[in-house]
């Protein structure tokens, strides 16, 4: 244990609100890791991640089918390496040591209509697509249960 960092070795899964350079740097400096959702709030990083995931083959990939609760969803998770900085201007150090880029493609019928959704994540970890898929699903399971409690029990939406 490093002095000043009593909690080490944790993996923080965070939504897009926390996709900030300061947050990722603090997490990795404290000897922890992160998986953070990425959207257009970080325009340059988002553009680079989309470009990378569209232009190179994934390091790892997995596919899962979910048939439950009247829906049929397919989730494809692809993990990409950070390109060589000599080839691509991608400063991972400013972002708390990004090691992996993750692309999640969801498609299917979550009700009566077809739906497609793309999500991107950055991570300081180097894991397989299966493990990233599990950790991302676990995050959203907790997130969705929390929102249900807030909406139904505490009537937060009223």
Q: What is the pLDDT of residues 86-138, one digit of tens each?
A: 556 666 657 778 999 999 998 887 666 777 889 999 999 999 999 999 999 86
CA-CA distance, 35 to 95, in Å (whole number)? 12
**pTM, rounded to two decimals:** 0.78
Backbone angles phi, psi at 39, to 5 degrees: -135, -165
What pLDDT shows up at residue 97? 86
Give pairs for 77-81: CB < 8 Å, separation 24+. Answer: 77/102, 77/103, 77/104, 77/105, 77/129, 77/130, 77/132, 77/133, 77/136, 78/53, 78/102, 78/103, 78/105, 78/129, 79/127, 79/128, 79/129, 79/132, 80/52, 80/53, 80/56, 81/56
């Amino acid at each position: 244990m490093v002095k000043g960092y009593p909690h080490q070795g944790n993996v923080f899964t965070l939504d897009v609100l926390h996709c900030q350079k300061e947050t990722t740097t603090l997490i990795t400096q404290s000897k922890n890791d992160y998986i953070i959702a990425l959207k257009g709030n970080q325009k340059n990083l988002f553009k680079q991640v989309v470009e990378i995931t569209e232009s190179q083959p994934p390091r790892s990939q997995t596919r899962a089918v979910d048939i439950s609760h009247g829906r049929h969803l397919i989730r494809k998770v692809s993990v990409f390496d950070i390109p060589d900085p000599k080839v691509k201007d991608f400063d991972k150090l400013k972002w708390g040591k990004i090691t992996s880029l993750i692309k999640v493609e969801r498609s299917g019928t979550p009700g009566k209509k077809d739906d497609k959704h793309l999500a991107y994540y950055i991570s300081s970890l180097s894991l397989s697509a299966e493990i990233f898929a599990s950790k991302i699903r676990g995050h959203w399971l907790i997130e969705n249960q929390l929102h249900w409690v807030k909406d139904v029990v505490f009537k937060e939406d009223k």
